[in-house]
């Protein structure tokens, strides 16, 4: 096995996934398959929330794993393995989303049609006057929430997804997104405020009384 520095070995002691990646680095034939099995669900979930499409999410997750394999010889553990993996995933996802913005090719999914098809965030805000029924189906609600998430810009969305679904703290998100912790704090604040505005009607649809919100300044 290749010699690694003291800090790296301490990290490896604490993080079993680092040890697994070091086996990948050393061309252990089953280690990479184990890595894929271990992380595929998390990676695909994150990608799915970013790009909104399962097929594309799997393609991106697969590409992330292949990149991990390609650069395996250069791998040096400096942080948790998951931080490194999601840094690769972040770069891939943001590049994809930016390419999409430059060339908006609309792929029509069956799910996109109908009354819960994509609507601009402003429309969702205007509609809040009509309080949704308490019996709003979970699937319909999920579609509304997904729409609200996709109304965020890509960096806000990435910060939200990493915080919520990967349980990353601000420092970890900062490392993945190559930002300062202060910038992450600001990103998340704006993202969550945007989500609050768009989803306000749905927050209290189980008929809890809406608290006195005199100062809830709508932007």
Partner 1 sequence: MSSLSEEDRANLVAFLDGELDEGTARALEARLNLDPSARAKAETLRKTWELLDYLPRPEPSTSFTNRTLEKLAVRHTTGPHLAIARGRLPRWIVALGWAAALVVAGASGLGAAHLLWSGEETPPPEAAEVEEILVRYPRVVENERLFEEIDNLDFLRSLGDPKLFGEDETGS
Any idea what DSSP says for residue 148?
A: H
**Ordered DSSP codes for 153-214:** -HHHHHHHHHHHHS---HHHHHHHHT--HHHHHHHHHHHHHHHHHHHHHHHTTT-PPPPP-T
Site for partner 1 in 158-187 (CB under 8 A): 160, 163-165, 169-170, 185-186
Using CB under 8 A, which of 19, 58, 127, 132 touches partner 1? Answer: 58
- Piece in contact with partner 1 (CB under 8 A), picked from 82-90, 109-117, 126-134, 142-150: 142-150
Structure tokens at 61: 């997750």
Instruction: Answer yes or no whether residue 87 interacts with partner 1 by CB under 8 A.
Output: no
**CA proximity to 93, closest of 121, 59, 143:** 59
Minimum Å gap between C-beta 170 and partner 1 is 5
Other C-beta atoms lying within 10 Å of the C-beta of residue 99: 11
Consecutive H or E run containing 58: helix 54-70
Query: What is the sign, positive or negative, of the torsion defined by CA atoms of 83, 89, 92, 93?
Result: negative
Among 7, 123, 142, 178, contact with partner 1 (rule: CB under 8 A): 142
Q: Which is nearer to partner 1, 25 or 48 (CB)?
A: 48
- Lay out the site mask for partner 1 across 3-42 (x = CB under 8 A, - = otherwise): --------------------------x--xx--xx--xx-
Helix or strand or coil: residue 32? helix
209 binds partner 1 (CB under 8 A): no
Residue 90, classed as helix, strand or coil, is: helix
119 counts as binding partner 1 under rule CB under 8 A: no
Give the residue with the Cβ less far from partner 1, 6 or 212. 212
Q: Interior CA angle at 210 toward 207 and 216, to 5°? A: 150
The nearest distance, CB 178 to partner 1, in angstroms, is 19
Contact residues: partner 1, CB under 8 A: 29, 32-33, 36-37, 40-41, 44-45, 48-49, 54, 57-58, 61-62, 65-66, 69, 138, 141-142, 145-146, 149, 160, 163-165, 169-170, 185-186, 188-189, 192-193, 195-196, 199-200, 202-204, 211-217
């Amino acid at each position: 096995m290749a010699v690694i520095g003291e800090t790296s070995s301490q990290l490896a002691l604490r993080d079993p996934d680092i040890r697994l990646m070091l086996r990948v680095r050393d061309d252990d034939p089953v280690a990479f398959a184990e890595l894929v099995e271990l992380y595929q669900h998390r990676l695909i979930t994150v990608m799915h929330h970013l790009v909104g499409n399962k097929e594309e999410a799997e393609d991106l997750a697969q590409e992330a794993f292949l990149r991990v394999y390609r650069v395996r010889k250069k791998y040096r553990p400096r942080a948790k393995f998951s931080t490194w993996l999601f840094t690769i995933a972040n770069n891939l996802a943001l590049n994809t989303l930016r390419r999409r913005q430059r060339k908006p090719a609309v792929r029509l999914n069956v799910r996109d049609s109908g009354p819960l098809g994509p609507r601009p965030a402003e429309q969702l805000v205007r509609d809040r006057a009509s309080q949704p029924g308490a019996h709003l189906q979970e699937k319909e609600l999920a579609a509304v929430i997904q729409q609200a998430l996709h109304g965020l810009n890509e960096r806000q969305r990435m910060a939200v997804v990493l915080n919520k679904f990967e349980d990353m703290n601000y420092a970890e998100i900062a490392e993945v997104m190559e930002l300062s912790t202060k910038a992450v704090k600001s990103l998340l604040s704006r993202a969550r405020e945007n989500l609050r505005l768009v989803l306000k009607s749905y927050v209290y649809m189980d008929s809890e009384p809406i608290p006195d919100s005199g100062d809830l300044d709508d932007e």
